[in-house]
Amino acid sequence: MNAEGGWVRSLRGAGMASTLLLAACGALDLSDGDPDARFFYQGRDMRERAMQQRWIGRTQDELEQTFGRPARVMFIPGNRPPPSYILVFTGNDPVGKCIDAFVVLMDGSGLVMDYFCR
């Protein structure tokens, strides 16, 4: 009975140790300095809305005066009306890490139609 009692005590000890270890891991910040995921995505959504309000209806020239030359120009395949392209700017959002993508009209006006945080 002593040997069996010792075995049961060992299992209980192991169970207690496992429980404490799991509880400790739950309290650790494993994000490597990145913000909490919920805060991170809420911040990106807020940036997207703010950038849409600020830039829709403004021009490509204004974008380039503010952000410099785009890192990439992407053309949208297919028959998406109205004809447009996407200007991509990087490195402007150190917190949310958005890659700024602006949809610009291809009609010569250079008007920004939309903005997306990618």
pLDDT in tens, 17-37: 433 333 333 333 434 445 456
pLDDT for res 19: 39
- Dump pLDDT digits (tens) for 50-97: 999 999 999 999 999 999 999 999 987 776 778 999 999 998 888 778
Q: What is the model's pTM?
A: 0.64
* H or E segment to which residue 34 belongs: none
* pLDDT at residue 29, rounded to an integer: 40
The residue behind tokens 């120009």 is 73
pLDDT tens per residue, range 54-67: 999 999 999 999 99
Which amino acid appears at position 3 of this protein? A
Residue for token pair 């990618």: 118
Q: Is the per-residue pLDDT at 118 higher than 80? A: yes
Distance CA 83, CA 89 (A): 20
| Residue 97 identity (one-letter amino acid) | K
